[in-house]
């Protein structure tokens, strides 16, 4: 009672932007998730046995992939990707 029902055509119209948005979202690898999960470069470097310079390169590439300007924006973008 009190719920709205939409025809299939209306549902497709409403969901279409979401579907298109999902198609354009960057895909991230397991390694990229590890790099972008909010830990410091030194911590992640120790865990993954990589040099801090290598991690900074990966993080920079991720920032370009998501079109963000800093690590905080990157963290938020990756969190949205995982939801």
pLDDT tens column, 10-64: 777 666 655 555 556 677 788 888 887 778 889 988 988 999 999 889 888 888 9
**Element (H or E) spanning 14, and its range?**
helix 8-24
Q: Which of 34, 80, 81, 82 is nearest to 59 (CA)?
A: 34
With both helix axes pointing from N to C terminus, report the angle between 41-48 and 52-66 in degrees, rounded to the nearest 10. Answer: 110
Q: Tell me the domains of the chain and their CATH numbers.
A: 27-82 (1.10.10.10)
- Kindly report the pTM of this predicted structure: 0.61
Q: Report pLDDT digits (tens) over 2-12.
A: 676 778 877 77
């Amino acid at each position: 009672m009190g719920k709205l029902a939409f025809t299939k055509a209306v549902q497709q119209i409403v969901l279409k932007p979401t579907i298109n948005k999902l198609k354009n979202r960057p895909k991230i690898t397991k390694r990229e998730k590890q790099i972008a999960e909010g830990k410091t470069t030194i911590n992640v470097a120790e865990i993954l046995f990589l040099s801090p310079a290598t991690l900074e390169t990966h993080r920079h590439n991720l920032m370009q992939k998501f079109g963000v300007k800093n690590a905080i924006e990157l963290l938020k973008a990756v969190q949205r990707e995982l939801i």
